């Protein structure tokens, strides 16, 4: 079946602009996660959804970052007033339950100029 | 809080040689342990996981890892590597009852012919 998909695959933006990153989890997966992969920080957890609620937002680096999930499916990660340090690959993962294997999408490479 | 240390950032080996990628974790509570692999220009894929039961877990492509609670380690081994094993390998931990994965910095495995 289809895996986790993310769009866009690449995003180049100017400092100060807002960006939205989209994640489509595997159908039927109730849990959804966002991570960030950057050269300096490695792989970092950002936020976790169970259904439409986010019981763990502890990894969001600042209030410029927010995420929502609707219909227990698609999720959008929004970064407001982007900064150069936001440049990274943003990864989405989903799982059927907890604990369960997290299946990762291909990521969105964000470059902030 | 949990943390993961991958002791080697890069490991070069010759084809058909054995390899061990080291992973140590720190946690005051019980954990689940994972190895993920990222092939060049691809997303993260689960290689193997330890949730409970037998401390030795195996993957379908010949890798194995052993959970050692006393040494807080989860080293990854393969008795004979192939060129196709060239990838970056990430060790990860999640706390029982928690959902997020905490990743190590990754080990880049390079196979020389």
**pLDDT grade for B54, boundaries at 50, 70 and 90:** confident
Q: What percent of chain B has pLDDT over 90?
A: 67
User: Which of A43, A90, A106, A109 should one mutate to test binding to chain B, selecting the residue with the greatest count of B CBs within 10 A?
Assistant: A43
CA atoms of B80 and A50, how far apart (whole Å): 41
CB contact under 8 A, B100 and A103: no
pLDDT of residue B97: 73
Name the token pair of A37. Answer: 């992969």
Q: Give mean pLDDT, residues B92-101.
A: 85
CA of residue B95 relative to chain centroid, distance: 17
Give chain B's count of helices (H) and strands (E): 0, 12
Q: A44: how many CB neighbours lie within 10 A of its CB? A: 17
CB contact under 8 A, B44 and A104: yes
pLDDT of residue A1: 55
pLDDT of residue B113: 87
Tell me which chain B residues have a C-beta less than 8 angstroms from the C-beta of A33: 99-101
Tell me which chain B residues have a C-beta less than 8 angstroms from the C-beta of A101: 46, 49
By C-alpha distance, the chain A residue nearest B92 is A43
pLDDT of residue A19: 98
Contact (Cβ atoms closer than 8 angstroms) between residue B27 and residue B51: no
Preceding omega of B62 cis (within 30 degrees of 0): no
Name the token pair of A33. Answer: 């996660």
Name the token pair of A17. Answer: 């602009």
For residue range B3-17, list pLDDT tens digits in order. Answer: 999 999 999 999 999
pLDDT of residue A46: 97
pLDDT of residue B34: 94
Of the candidates B74, B81, B71, which has an alpha carbon nearest to the alpha carbon of residue B34? B74
CA atoms of A64 and A25, how far apart (whole Å): 24
Max mean pLDDT among A90-94, B30-34, B91-95 falls in A90-94
For residue range A67-83, list pLDDT tens digits in order. Answer: 999 988 999 999 999 99
CATH number at residue B47: 2.60.40.10
Q: Calculate the average pLDDT of chain B.
A: 92
Q: Which domain holds residue B79?
A: 3-112
Number of domains into which chain B is organized: 1
Preceding omega of B95 cis (within 30 degrees of 0): no
For residue range A17-59, list pLDDT tens digits in order. Answer: 999 999 999 999 999 999 999 987 889 999 999 999 998 999 9
Q: Is residue A86 scored above 90 in pLDDT?
A: yes
Q: Give mean pLDDT, residues B78-85.
A: 96
Please name the member of A31, A44, A91 whose beta carbon is closest to the beta carbon of B99: A31
**pLDDT grade for B58, boundaries at 50, 70 and 90:** confident
Q: For residue A99, report the phi and psi dihedrals to the nearest 5 degrees.
A: -80, 145
- Name the superfamily (CATH) of residues A5-106: Immunoglobulins (2.60.40.10)
Within the 62-101 window of chain B, which residues sit less than 8 Å (CB to CB) from chain A?
Answer: 90, 92, 94, 96, 98-101
């Amino acid at each position: 079946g289809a895996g986790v998909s993310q769009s866009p695959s690449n995003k180049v933006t100017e400092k100060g602009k807002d960006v939205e990153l989209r994640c489509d989890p595997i159908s039927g997966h109730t849990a959804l996660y966002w991570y960030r992969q950057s050269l300096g920080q490695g792989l970092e957890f950002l936020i976790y959804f169970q259904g439409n609620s986010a019981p763990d937002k502890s990894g969001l680096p600042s209030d410029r970052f927010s995420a929502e999930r609707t219909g227990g499916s698609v999720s959008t990660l929004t970064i407001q007033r982007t900064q150069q340090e936001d440049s990274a690959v943003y990864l989405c993962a989903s799982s059927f339950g907890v604990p369960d294997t997290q299946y990762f999408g291909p990521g969105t490479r964000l470059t902030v100029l | 809080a949990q943390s993961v240390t991958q002791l080697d950032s890069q490991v070069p080996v010759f084809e058909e040689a054995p390899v061990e990628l080291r992973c140590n974790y720190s946690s005051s509570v019980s954990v689940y342990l994972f190895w993920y692999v990222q092939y060049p220009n691809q997303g993260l894929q689960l290689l193997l996981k330890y949730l409970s039961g037998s401390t030795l877990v195996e993957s379908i492509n010949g890798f194995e890892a052993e959970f050692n609670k006393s040494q807080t380690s989860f080293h990854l081994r393969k008795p004979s590597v192939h060129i196709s094993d060239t990838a970056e390998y990430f060790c990860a931990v999640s706390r029982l009852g928690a959902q997020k994965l905490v990743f190590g910095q990754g080990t880049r495995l390079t196979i020389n012919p």
